[in-house]
Amino acid sequence: MNVQMEKATLLAEQLKSFIDLVYRSYNKETHFEFHHDKVYRLKSLVDEYRFNIISEELLRVNKFVWDEKVTPVLVDRVKEKLVTIDEYVESNYQDLYLFSVRLSNIKSLLATF
């Protein structure tokens, strides 16, 4: 199996788990207490940047065969949009500290591309 394909699939799975954490935190389905307005803003950013669609597309494109044309475009979209989300989480670190761990995992995966 192609290493690039595996990295793209892992990135898509990490994005999906980050999105899931954001939605569960917004719906108060976690054991952690977050500032609801700040989680709402984070959810709005995730929705606005359509991370769910990007992660599903990454999974679909790299499920069986490495697509060398589409995958770098999707990864670049994640990179440029993740900067804003990372800045928001860092500026509100005391209220959104748990999300920084997931974001650092995604950023380390993005660095390998």
Query: What pLDDT shows up at residue 1?
Result: 53
Question: pLDDT (tens digit, 9 = 90+) per residue, 90-99?
Answer: 999 998 989 9
Total number of domains constituting the chain: 1
CB count within 10 Å of CB 27 equals 10
Query: What pLDDT shows up at residue 92?
Result: 93
Q: What is the pTM of this model?
A: 0.88
CA 71 – CA 30 distance, rounded (Å): 32
Owning domain of residue 44: 3-111
Question: pLDDT (tens digit, 9 = 90+) per residue, 36-91?
Answer: 899 999 999 999 999 999 999 999 988 887 778 888 999 999 999 999 999 999 99
DSSP, collapsed to helix, strand or coil, labels residue 1 as coil
Asked if 96 contacts 42 with a C-beta cutoff of 8 angstroms, the reply is: yes
